[in-house]
Amino acid sequence: MPDAGHYRNKRALATLGLGTAALFVLGLMYAWSLYADFLDLGRAESSFVFSTALCLFCVGSLLAARITARFTVRATVAVSAALLLIGFLCLAFFAKCAFWVPWMSFGLLFGTSCGIGYNAIVTSVNGWYPGRSGFASGILLLGFGLSALLLGEATHLSLDAFGWHATFCVLAVGGAAVLLVYAFWYRPPTRRASPKEQAKQKAAFNFRDYLKADLLLFYFWRIIVLGGCITLVGASSSEALLLGASPLTASLLVGFVATSNGASRIVTGLVFDRTNIRVVMVLTTSLALASLACITLAFLFGNLPLFIGAAVAVGFAYGSLPVISATYSRVRFGEAEYATGLAILNSNVAFGSFLSMAFVAAFGTGADRFALYAALFVAAVVAALFLLAFLAKSRQA
């Protein structure tokens, strides 16, 4: 007869599977450009909506920590589902009425929904994997990362075939249903920190602890690496065309970068489980440095194959970053403060995006991208210096 451990393992796997499906839905936030094109939004309007969604993702993540602390994970995910439902229904019926509709429905409502759901699901699923948080985080974030490529493309085909009313209605009802299934399925693991242990952790952790040197160094390190990687990942196709790639090659490159991005999440999680956060950060920084150096040289000498290889490597480095935050948060803050710590560390997603836009505005306005990627390489060197300081501080801790 199967023992309790057998049922516990089955429930852990089911929780991981349902959590991955829920994050697959929420990852549609990164497919916004497909919807913006269909809604005939200009580049400035589209960028403003997506920037709003990124900012509200960070706010939503902080809200999730507070809602879960006050109520339950089930209530937190249900709030995420409700906001997603309202947001996409607004898009379904009013998307082309005025610019403020997609800004409110996608930028405000869905951005907040994504942040709330992301935080609640990542932290709750990891509770079932205390010794394998890297593996669990990698699987979860693989689903989140592949959503824009797979579900986003399917949604784009649906928009062409059935129109925006039907497509956004299906996304509203279907997406909310997936989140609610996770909410009602989820149960906390039987072995977790006791109320006394959690109270002790909270008492030993206050706001000033978030300003400690190692956390600040980690925070700024991630902003810089994220800013450098996202610049290339979001424009790999157009950059390849500048180097003489055919449209087919440029299109295939997008798929290669996305695949590398997804594979990185699992590999990074497994490496973390077998080593520690310092090893993973060193590997990611080294890969980002080498890749950006190669891309700089590729534009200097007009070498397309070098660019393609380096772009795939940048995708790998970029994919490791969310896993690093998810795993480091659990190790650094403990169970009691995991949700809040993850929310604070993930707030640098918005800053990394803004840093990328600043680099593009300053150095990437012309057809020659050498100056842009040379500047990003210098930024990666600065990130490496932050990493060295972080390693020194963490060694002392």
Q: Is 100:183 a contact under the CB 8 Å cutoff?
A: no
Residue 193 clears pLDDT 60, i.e. is over it: no
Query: Which residue carries 């795939």 as its tokens?
Result: 312
pLDDT average, residue stretch 363-368:
75
Residue 78 clears pLDDT 60, i.e. is over it: yes
Q: The tokens of 236 are what?
A: 């790999």
pTM of the model: 0.86
Residue 252's pLDDT is 86
Q: Which of 386, 362, 383, 380 is nearest to 372 (CA)?
A: 362
Whole-angstrom distance, CA of residue 174 vs CA of residue 382: 44
pLDDT average, residue stretch 115-136:
92
Q: Measured in Å, how far apart are the chain's first and last C-alpha atoms?
A: 47
The packing angle between helices 111-126 and 304-333, to 10°, is 60
Residue 195's pLDDT is 54
Q: Is the dihedral of CA 338, 341, 347, 352 positive or negative?
A: negative
194 pLDDT tier (thresholds 50, 70, 90): low
Residue 371 clears pLDDT 70, i.e. is over it: yes
| Residue 205 one-letter amino acid | F
pLDDT in tens, 153-183: 788 788 888 888 898 899 999 999 999 999 9
Percentage of the chain modeled with pLDDT above 90:
53
Whole-angstrom distance, CA of residue 106 vs CA of residue 86: 10
285 pLDDT tier (thresholds 50, 70, 90): very high
In terms of phi and psi (left: phi > 0; alpha: psi -120 to 50; beta: otherwise), the region of 163 is left
Catalogue all structural domains in the chain, each as residue range(s) with its CATH number: 10-192 (1.20.1250.20), 204-396 (1.20.1250.20)
Q: Which of 376, 92, 371, 20 is nearest to 224 (CA)?
A: 376
User: Who has greater pLDDT, 326 or 35?
Assistant: 326
Which span out of 29-38, 53-62, 184-193, 362-371 was modeled with the highest average pLDDT?
53-62
221 pLDDT tier (thresholds 50, 70, 90): very high
User: Who has greater pLDDT, 292 or 251?
Assistant: 292
